[in-house]
């Protein structure tokens, strides 16, 4: 260590004590400062051990969680005790320490709840997730901490520190810290109940692993490797689950209408009716919180901390999606209907369970593209290596796999992330389905990261076919896109958390409706020829993907965007409108059905109103599911700055990393956009992407107008 000796450390501790910092915290701050100086001096640090090694049993996990929560509480309690002038060291430093400890406790608990194979371990994860969330809520209502930050003079501090304090004060006020004591106590009680309800809602979905029993004949049309993995039982029945690796091939390829319809219904019905009372409780709690804070609805309150700022902007944005997508969707719908009439002459509508199947048929008949052929070039091992290689090349990072690392489940992989030879974090890949596991895809930042104190670590949780002897685990292109999406989240976390002084200025400090930009940006890479050709090899012949197949793929991928946006807008609307009213006014089944039917062009079944039960984002995103579409607009604007032929060679890639990813939440999302684009975002690139199918080779709009339709 540079210049370290016991005597200077003692001098510094005494100086901190004289400035009002309690002794125990003074010692910790000195150690952090030493590490900070060490790290910033460019010395090679000893890599920290993988996080799971210390929490591999329930006892160790609970001990670790309790220690983090206790450390956070000690830091919080020290802030009002400061004597004399408040400084960044004696006020913001312990506040940031509390944020780090609480966030680390929270996300580790969420990982255990969502991904551990053992139910008892998952139960413990739920308990500590709720404890961490309650402490975060309590902190946001602690007047002594708010007053301390409010009186802290940061006018001479660096811009990141100034923004950090400003943003946190805004969030304190939005939480209700400036309300009466009675109101704060009521808000804390309500939020505690909400935390428990959110956890219950999500676990009800995760643990409702439904399945249906099909016959061998029902598998007609499905890829051979899928059929090989689904052997009939002694009675000739084939068990198919609602897990992603089972679900998506059936919806896309199965010729049996009954099979697709039955599996879609089972998937939508997860946690039904179990989640009814839970959702109604979340709606009631959120409405009371919002109105107690002076907002007319939760949707309005929830938007106040985001780029959208208010419910009116959110509502207008969802309406604009419908407006720009509907003319394109109408043309796509007519093409799908014509495809359906080849086998059902008098067809007048398209059911939701046959939409993806008909899209796949149309891709073959109109674009000469068969997705099943593409799957043969996407074995899981090659895709994973392609992901690592692409991320390494684009983000200018090195990924090195650690083997034999303890983890919460078999087959979890550990990857060290290095920047110019220096370790800056870790990424874990947990990609196989199992009972009780979260059935979607998510990225969890289990270690926040703070320069000189800890490196950030993130876990990618997803569910894909498991490669095994004789089974290469072939993936759909949508699976590959999703994996790149989640890895984009992970890299954003590593880059934003490994070089900032404050743990609380990582990407979680961003406005929430920007958080999907880096992930949706990176998910576009598998469709680029320069990327796909680098790893797509036939699993049997090892031949590279033919150029004509790739061209057909990209041509076919332009079809269906309008209908997709309408269906996405339907979920945006359901999420938003559900929380934009008094909960007592809502019949969930009727309301859900009306919202979905109000946007989609598809014929929905009579029981579609149950879709709310398995819509997991009603718990975490609540009214802000629009985030995905909001960020898609920004992503298309961003991606338009790159060369599709080779996004790696341009200095735009390094500028994107420097101006969008590395700052994390150290400035507003609007500033990130302006720093990269040189202007605010607009919808032009998004509209061009949406209409690409109906443009001629020159990029001009086709002969049929794309505006003016209202149906």
**Is the bond preceding residue 273 a cis peptide, omega within 30 degrees?**
yes
* Mean pLDDT rounded to a whole number for the chain: 91
What's the pLDDT at 658?
Answer: 97
Give the H or E element holding residue 480.
Answer: helix 477-497
CATH for the 276-375+561-627 domain, from 3.40.50.20, 1.10.10.10, 2.60.120.260, 1.10.1370.10: 1.10.1370.10
What's the pLDDT at 696?
Answer: 56
Compute the average pLDDT of residues 26-37.
43
Region for 320 from its dihedrals, namely left if φ exceeds 0, alpha if ψ lies in -120 to 50, beta otherwise: alpha
What's the pLDDT at 1?
Answer: 27
Architecture of the domain whose range is 45-204: Up-down Bundle (1.20)
What's the pLDDT at 119?
Answer: 97
Tens digit of pLDDT for each residue in 464-507?
A: 998 887 889 999 999 999 999 999 999 999 999 988 899 999 99
| Dihedral sign from CA coordinates of 314, 316, 319, 325 | negative
Name which of 25-39, 381-395, 467-481, 573-587 the model is least confident about: 25-39
The more confidently predicted of residues 15 and 79 is: 79
- Structural contact between residues 169 and 161, judged by C-beta atoms closer than 8 angstroms: no
- Structural contact between residues 436 and 206, judged by C-beta atoms closer than 8 angstroms: yes
Site of tokens 């007048």:
348
What's the pLDDT at 46?
Answer: 56
Q: What's 606's DSSP letter? A: G
Cα(463)–Cα(434) distance, integer angstroms: 8
The pLDDT confidence band at residue 574, using thresholds 50, 70 and 90, is very high
DSSP assignment of 514-531, as one string? GTTHHHHHHTTGGGSHHH
Look at residue 9 and tell me whether its pLDDT is greater than 60.
Answer: no
β partners of residue 225: none
Name which of 53-62, 95-104, 168-177, 496-505 the model is least confident about: 496-505
- Structural contact between residues 187 and 141, judged by C-beta atoms closer than 8 angstroms: yes
Angle between helices 588-597 and 276-292 (to 10 degrees): 80
The alpha carbon torsion through 556, 558, 559, 562 (nearest 10 deg) reads 170
Compute the average pLDDT of residues 108-129.
98
Region for 553 from its dihedrals, namely left if φ exceeds 0, alpha if ψ lies in -120 to 50, beta otherwise: alpha
Helical residues (DSSP H) of 547-603, grouped into ranges: 547-557, 561-578, 588-597
Tens digit of pLDDT for each residue in 414-423?
A: 999 999 999 9
Look at residue 528 and tell me whether its pLDDT is greater than 70.
Answer: yes
Look at residue 44 and tell me whether its pLDDT is greater than 90.
Answer: no
DSSP assignment of 544-561, as one string? BPPHHHHHHHHHHHTTTH
Angle between helices 244-253 and 355-367 (to 10 degrees): 60
Question: Whole-prediction pTM value?
Answer: 0.91
* CA 47 remoteness from chain centre: 27
What are the structure tokens assigned to 459, written together? Answer: 């876990």
CATH class of residue range 380-543+643-661: alpha beta
- Structural contact between residues 635 and 521, judged by C-beta atoms closer than 8 angstroms: yes
C-alpha dist (Å) from residue 382 to 227, 441, 583: 22, 20, 49
Cα(665)–Cα(160) distance, integer angstroms: 9
Residues in contact with 408: Cβ distance below 8 Å, sequence separation at least 6, in sequence order:
52, 56, 111, 112, 115, 116, 117, 121, 430
What's the pLDDT at 701?
Answer: 44
Residues in contact with 505: Cβ distance below 8 Å, sequence separation at least 6, in sequence order:
160, 163, 164, 664, 665, 666
What are the structure tokens assigned to 460, written together? Answer: 């990618």
Burial bucket for residue 369 (CB in 10 Å: 0-12, 13-18, 19+): buried
Cα(156)–Cα(710) distance, integer angstroms: 56
Look at residue 297 and tell me whether its pLDDT is greater than 90.
Answer: yes
- Structural contact between residues 457 and 509, judged by C-beta atoms closer than 8 angstroms: no
Look at residue 709 and tell me whether its pLDDT is greater than 70.
Answer: no
Cα(248)–Cα(242) distance, integer angstroms: 9
Edge-first strand listing for the sheet containing 422-430: 398-402, 413-419, 422-430, 457-461, 442-447
Cα(65)–Cα(129) distance, integer angstroms: 10
What's the pLDDT at 450?
Answer: 95
């Amino acid at each position: 260590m540079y210049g370290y000796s016991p005597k200077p450390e003692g001098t510094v501790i005494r100086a901190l004590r004289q400035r009002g910092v309690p002794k125990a915290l003074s010692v910790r701050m000195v150690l952090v400062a030493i590490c900070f100086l060490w790290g910033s001096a460019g010395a090679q640090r000893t890599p920290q051990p993988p996080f799971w090694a210390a929490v591999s049993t329930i006892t160790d996990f609970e001990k670790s969680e309790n220690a983090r929560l206790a450390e956070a509480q000690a830091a919080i309690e020290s802030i009002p005790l400061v004597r004399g002038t408040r400084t960044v060291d004696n006020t913001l430093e312990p506040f940031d320490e509390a944020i780090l400890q609480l966030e680390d406790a929270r996300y580790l608990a969420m990982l255990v709840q969502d991904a551990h194979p053992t139910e008892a371990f998952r139960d413990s994860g739920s308990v500590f997730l709720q404890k961490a969330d309650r402490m975060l809520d309590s902190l946001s209502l602690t007047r002594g901490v708010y007053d301390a930050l409010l009186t802290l003079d940061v006018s001479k501090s660096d811009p990141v520190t100034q923004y950090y304090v400003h943003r946190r004060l805004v969030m304190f006020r939005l939480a209700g810290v400036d309300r009466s004591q009675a109101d704060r106590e009521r808000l804390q009680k309500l939020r505690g109940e909400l935390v428990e309800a959110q956890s219950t809602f999500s676990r009800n979905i995760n643990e409702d692993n439904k399945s249906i029993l099909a016959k061998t004949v029902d598998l007609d049309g499905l890829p051979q490797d899928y059929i090989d993995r689904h052997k009939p039982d002694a009675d000739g029945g084939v068990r198919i689950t609602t897990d992603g690796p089972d679900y998506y091939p059936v919806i896309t390829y199965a010729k049996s209408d009954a099979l697709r319809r039955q599996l879609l219904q089972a998937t939508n019905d997860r946690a039904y009716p179990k989640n009814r009372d839970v959702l109604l409780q979340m709606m009631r709690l959120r409405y009371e919180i919002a109105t107690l804070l002076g907002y007319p609805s939760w949707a309005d309150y929830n938007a106040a901390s985001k780029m959208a700022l208010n419910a009116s902007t959110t509502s207008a944005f969802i309406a604009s999606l419908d407006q720009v997508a509907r003319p394109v969707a109408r043309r796509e719908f007519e093409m799908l209907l014509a495809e359906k009439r080849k086998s059902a002459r008098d067809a007048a509508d398209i059911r939701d369970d046959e939409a993806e199947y008909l899209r796949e048929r149309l891709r073959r008949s109109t674009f000469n593209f068969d997705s099943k052929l593409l799957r043969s070039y996407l074995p899981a091992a090659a895709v994973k290596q392609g992901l690592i290689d692409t991320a390494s090349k684009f983000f200018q990072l090195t990924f090195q796999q650690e083997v034999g690392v303890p983890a919460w489940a078999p087959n979890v992989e550990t990857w060290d992330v290095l920047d110019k030879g220096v370790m800056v974090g870790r990424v874990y890949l947990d990609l196989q389905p199992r009972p009780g596991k979260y059935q979607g895809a998510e990225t969890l930042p289990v270690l926040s990261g703070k320069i000189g104190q800890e490196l950030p670590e993130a876990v990618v949780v997803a569910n894909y076919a498991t490669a095994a002897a004789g089974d290469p685990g072939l993936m759909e292109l949508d699976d590959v896109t999703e994996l790149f999406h989640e890895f984009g989240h992970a890299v954003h976390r590593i880059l934003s958390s490994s070089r900032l002084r404050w743990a609380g200025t990582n990407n979680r400090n961003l406005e929430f409706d920007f958080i999907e930009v880096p992930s949706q940006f990176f998910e576009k890479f598998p469709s680029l020829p320069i990327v796909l050709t680098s790893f797509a090899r036939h699993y049997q012949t090892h031949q590279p993907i033919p150029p004509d197949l790739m061209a057909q793929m990209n041509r076919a991928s332009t079809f269906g965007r309008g209908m997709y946006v309408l269906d996405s807008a339907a979920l945006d609307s359901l999420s938003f409108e559900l929380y934009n009213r008094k909960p007592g006014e809502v019949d969930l089944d009727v309301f859900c059905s009306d919202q979905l039917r109000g946007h989609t062009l598809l014929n929905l079944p009579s029981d579609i109103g149950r879709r709310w039960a398995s819509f997991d984002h009603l718990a975490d995103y609540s009214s802000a599911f629009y985030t995905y579409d909001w960020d898609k607009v920004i992503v298309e604007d961003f991606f338009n700055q790159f060369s599709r032929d080779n996004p790696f060679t341009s200095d735009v890639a390094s500028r994107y990393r420097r101006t969008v990813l590395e700052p994390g939440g150290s400035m507003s999302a609007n500033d990130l956009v302006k720093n990269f684009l040189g202007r605010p975002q607009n919808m032009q690139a998004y509209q061009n992407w949406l209409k690409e199918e109906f443009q001629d080779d020159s990029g001009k709009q086709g002969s049929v107008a794309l505006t003016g339709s209202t149906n």
